[in-house]
Structure 1
Amino acid sequence: MLGSGLSNQIGAAVGSLAFPVLGPAGVVAVRQYVAAAVLLAVGRPRLRSFTWRQWWPVLLLALVFGTMNLSLYTAIDRIGLGLAVMLEFLGPLTIALAAARRRVDAACAVVAAGGVVVLLRPRPSADYLGMGLGLLAAACWASYILLNRTVGRRIPGAQGSAAAACVSAVVFLPVGAAVALHRPPTAAALAYAVVAGVLSSAVPYLADLFTLRHVAAQSFGLFMSVNPVLAALVGWVGLGQGLGWAEAGGIAAVVAANAFSMATRGS
């Protein structure tokens, strides 16, 4: 789980190094191609056998997958890795707390909301477009979770996820072509983007697939709360993106709310 989380955040950090040449859209396009290649090899979807009842959630999942990555990487470019991942993390946190019916979960939701208010508070240096993109990524991640459940019920194995990744990659082909024409890539920028695709898509997917065979879903969900902390550390150490005390406090509140809610499940 630690390897998966670190790989995901380091991949995002490495991908940001290609932003000056490829831009966020170019990096996301390459990431989609890498994700499609890996998931097609693993899932081996039988596309011709899919019915419309199976295809429509796959198409929605592909749309959400591409939008989530594009909004997240653009947010990283504007507001930094730590804050962008923190805002994106609100997606699965909202899903988890919305499904709960305990008073402690309501209290955790209030604490998390307080942390969000601190992060989004008005100030002269605030980049509201970047924050808005982070929240869009959160909404996409929540939709991604719900759609994945539907796809998983209707299509066996990893075929649905592989098909969605393939469709998303096809949609991003014109984006990649346009970026290549207007912003000719360098070998270093392409290498950064490919590494980002491997570390942020291939490694976490395979690692999580293996982990969930041996670790309870509750423990896995609890560890997910560490991802914003890992993102802040990677952004600070690898990219020199520091956080102020208020931002660090807001992130801590959201992470603590999720961790406490997950740790007390079933108690």
Structure 2
Amino acid sequence: MNDDSSRREPIPRSSLTGLVGRGLGGVPPTALVLLGIVSVQLGSALAKQLFGEVGSFGTVALRLFFAAAILMLLWRPSPRMSRRAWTVVVAYGLTLGLMNLCFYLSLDRLPLGIAVTVEFLGPLAVALGGSRRWLDALWAVLAGGGVVLLMGGGGEVNLVGLLFALGAAACWGLYIVVSAALGRHTTEGNGLALGMVVAALVAVPIGVADSGAALIQPWVLVAGLGLALLSSVVPYSLDLEALRRMPPRVFGILMSLEPAMASLIGLVVLHEVLHWSQWIAVLCVVIASVGATRGARPDVRPEDLAPAQHPDRPN
């Protein structure tokens, strides 16, 4: 797939994405991408507020349960698929569930900006993997230097949280590969919806065992619904509409801003102050991501771009 948006095949619409397209037709696609980024990071900020009540396991359970319910209502997928397709759907759901668990466990121990920055190493590694260009090696070194700054800078970083963030990064890299297979073996949003159900089946029992009756408090359920909307449904719809109107590479470059936006929202909403060395680390990863995306081959697929998000965002 190349950068000529006129040659990109149309992305299927659900009733929601069709409504978004009609309602936001006059909004520039760049603004749609930025709104999606803000929505995701506000969702992560909301998740941190829930940790004190239901813990990280309970928060993941709420997000995936409501996201699965909403997507099943939107797409109403048929379970009649080949065995190969179901294998991919299950792999997608297991990867998605584990990725969210790792990310929220890291978010419980790290500032939002740091957790997102470390997690971004996963898609960046996928984008750089197999490249023989010396410039891509520079981006890899720059991103690695950012991690070193996070670990050895003036700000304290929880080691367990960092390991969970690295686990989320590894899952995100695998998620990109599985997402590509999901697109080949399923149609429209059917695989996404069914995969989300699999992810919920992984996370909900763990969340219920850990949080119990706290999960069914009315305000917690409302917050969980808001979390699913902010972190999954709203950005998914905005991203799809933006991708209809801009080349995938431009979309990828804009998505490279996500670690910086996460750090800003962590500062403004959660009052998480990063050390100056940690801000430099975030900047290193952002620059590496932009560089890797700009240097991608013209025929690279959107799912291979370093910062490209997919139907469900991991953070």
TM-score, normalised with respect to structure 1? 0.93
The answer for the alignment partner of 1:35 in structure 2 is 67
Whole-angstrom CA distance in 2 between matches of 1:2 and 1:56? 34
Deviation at 1:4, TM superposition (A): 0.5
Correspondence for 2:49 among 17, 20, 23: 17
Correspondence for 1:193 among 211, 216, 224: 224
Residues 124 and 292 in structure 2, CA contact (< 8 A), matched pair in contact too: no
Whole-angstrom CA distance in 1 between matches of 2:75 and 2:132? 36
The answer for the alignment partner of 2:133 in structure 1 is 102
Post-superposition CA distance 1:64-84 (Å, at most 9, x none): 111111111111110111100
Number of residue pairs the alignment of both structures matches: 266
Name the SS for the 1:157 alignment partner.
coil
Post-superposition CA distance 1:74-95 (Å, at most 9, x none): 1111011110011111111111
- Once superposed, what is the RMSD of the aligned Cα atoms? 2.0
Residues 153 and 277 in structure 2, CA contact (< 8 A), matched pair in contact too: no
Residues 6 and 230 in structure 1, CA contact (< 8 A), matched pair in contact too: yes
* Bigger mean CA offset, 97-106 vs 220-229: 97-106
Deviation at 1:114, TM superposition (A): 1.0
Correspondence for 1:136 among 164, 167, 173: 167
The answer for the alignment partner of 1:216 in structure 2 is 247
Whole-angstrom CA distance in 2 between matches of 1:184 and 1:228? 30
Name the SS for the 2:286 alignment partner.
helix
1:226 pairs with 2:257? yes
Identity fraction in percent: 36
1:121 pairs with 2:152? yes
Mapping of residues 147-226 of structure 1, within 5 Å: 147-181=178-212, 183=214, 186-226=217-257
Name the SS for the 1:79 alignment partner.
coil
The answer for the alignment partner of 2:274 in structure 1 is 243
The structure in which a higher percent of residues are helix is: 1
Deviation at 1:185, TM superposition (A): 5.2
Whole-angstrom CA distance in 2 between matches of 1:61 and 1:265? 25
The answer for the alignment partner of 1:4 in structure 2 is 36
Name the SS for the 2:244 alignment partner.
coil
Q: Is the alpha carbon distance of 1:187 and 1:222 closer, same or farther for their aligned partners in structure 2, counting shifts above 3 Å?
A: same
Residues 155 and 275 in structure 2, CA contact (< 8 A), matched pair in contact too: no
Whole-angstrom CA distance in 2 between matches of 1:237 and 1:135? 25
* Bigger mean CA offset, 239-248 vs 120-129: 120-129
Residues 58 and 204 in structure 2, CA contact (< 8 A), matched pair in contact too: no
Post-superposition CA distance 1:178-208 (Å, at most 9, x none): 2453646543333332211110011111111
Whole-angstrom CA distance in 1 between matches of 2:282 and 2:83? 41
Whole-angstrom CA distance in 2 between matches of 1:227 and 1:156? 28
The answer for the alignment partner of 2:78 in structure 1 is 46
Post-superposition CA distance 1:45-77 (Å, at most 9, x none): 211x21211111111111111111111111111
